[in-house]
């Protein structure tokens, strides 16, 4: 039986559904050109020394720290939440940072299965972080989406009732692959309605299963028309997950959607972002295309489970070198 937790719902701004517009789906790409632009753009920033520590900490604060394992328990979800709240012990920074600034260094969200949302909410509540760290729940039959629509929508409702403030849904790839974009739109509209004003909607495209860059662009547009707050690359379970060329195509869609509608939508690469250098390449790509102001949790996230390990190593090594000077 679902236990409904009493908690304060944060006041949040969410995107709303726009009418389906097939004209937004007309696009042609040169794959080689996309790959060349993504590579050259993502390498424009040279980051070293103290600057790399700052970028690493920025990446940490943009991370949805994730556990999506079949053996997840209340205990390891609690450990995940503690790490999201307190990624570093204060003493490692020495005199490099003011101690009060350390309270602001935490992950953007924790991401778990719907059945583990209540555990995450309880842990964040104990650390006083319910209002500063979001709880994202993967839903709608993650990772395949091969479930009946009624059960997928109910999963959203259950996750929000348990304390989720963000819902990461998976789109129906079967509809996308046969070109039924109206069908994809209709389903995501219902998922947007299920979230309402209570939770942000992040739509997972599962780019490794869409077949082409054109389909990635079209899926991005359809989800944004349906009211997505974020478009997300992957579940992390596909053979191909977040890549910079795919990210660039999604960025082009975000730019065109904003130009045509005035609506701003966030981006979330997930799966394959494992090192600080990976994260810096993504942040550079976003900075050079969408602008530096996009590098905030409201507009850009990393979905990752192992990224924090490398960030911790980079920060510790960088601080140690600074203290030796």
Distance, CA of 104 to CA of 133 (rounded, Å):
11
Is 232 annotated as catalytic? yes
Catalytic residue among 52, 64, 119, 168: 168
Catalytic residue among 52, 268, 278, 310: 268
Cβ distance 281 to 245 under 8 Å? no
Name the nearest CA neighbour of 229 among 192, 191, 202, 197.
202
Distance, CA of 273 to CA of 269 (rounded, Å):
8
Adjacent-strand bridge partners of 134: 109
- Give the DSSP H or E segment for 202: strand 200-204
Name the nearest CA neighbour of 169 among 105, 253, 230.
230
Catalytic residue among 232, 278, 287, 310: 232
Is 268 annotated as catalytic? yes
Distance, CA of 315 to CA of 52 (rounded, Å):
8
The separation between the first and the last C-alpha atoms of the chain, rounded to the nearest angstrom, is: 58
Adjacent-strand bridge partners of 169: 139, 203
Q: H helices within 12-166, ranges in order?
A: 31-42, 49-61, 74-85, 117-126, 149-162
Cβ distance 39 to 252 under 8 Å? no
Distance, CA of 140 to CA of 148 (rounded, Å):
9
Cβ distance 77 to 123 under 8 Å? yes
**Token couple for 181:** 């974009």
Is 313 annotated as catalytic? no
Question: Which residues are the active-site residues?
Answer: 168, 232, 268
């Amino acid at each position: 039986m679902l236990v409904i937790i009493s908690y304060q719902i944060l006041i949040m701004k969410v995107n709303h559904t726009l009418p389906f517009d097939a004209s937004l789906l007309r696009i042609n790409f040169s794959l080689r050109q996309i790959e060349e632009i993504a590579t050259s753009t993502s390498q424009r920033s040279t980051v070293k020394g103290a600057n790399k520590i700052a970028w690493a900490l920025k990446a940490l604060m943009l991370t949805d720290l994730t556990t999506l394992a079949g053996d997840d328990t209340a205990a390891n979800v609690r450990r995940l939440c503690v790490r999201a709240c307190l990624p570093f012990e204060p003493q490692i920074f020495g005199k490099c940072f003011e101690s009060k600034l350390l309270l602001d260094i935490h992950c953007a969200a924790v991401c778990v299965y719907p059945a583990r949302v209540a555990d995450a909410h309880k842990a964040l509540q104990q650390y006083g972080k319910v209002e500063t760290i979001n709880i994202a729940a993967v839903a709608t039959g993650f990772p395949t989406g091969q479930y009946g629509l009624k059960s997928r929508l109910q999963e959203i409702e259950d996750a929000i009732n348990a304390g989720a403030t963000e819902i990461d849904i998976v789109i129906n790839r079967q509809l996308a692959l046969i070109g039924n974009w109206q069908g994809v739109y209709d389903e995501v509209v219902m998922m947007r309605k299920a979230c309402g004003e209570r939770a942000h909607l992040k739509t997972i495209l599962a780019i490794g299963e869409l077949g082409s860059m054109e389909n990635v662009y079209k899926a991005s547009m359809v989800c944004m028309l349906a009211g997505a707050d974020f478009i997300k690359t992957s579940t992390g379970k596909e053979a191909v997950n977040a890549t910079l060329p795919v990210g660039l195509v999604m960025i082009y869609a975000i730019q065109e959607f904003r130009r045509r509608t005035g609506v701003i939508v966030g981006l979330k690469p997930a799966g394959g972002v494992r090192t600080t250098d990976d994260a810096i390449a993504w942040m550079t790509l976003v900075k050079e295309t969408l602008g530096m102001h996009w590098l905030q949790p409201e507009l850009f996230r990393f979905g990752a489970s192992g990224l924090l390990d490398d960030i911790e190593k980079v920060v510790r090594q960088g601080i140690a070198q600074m203290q030796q000077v």
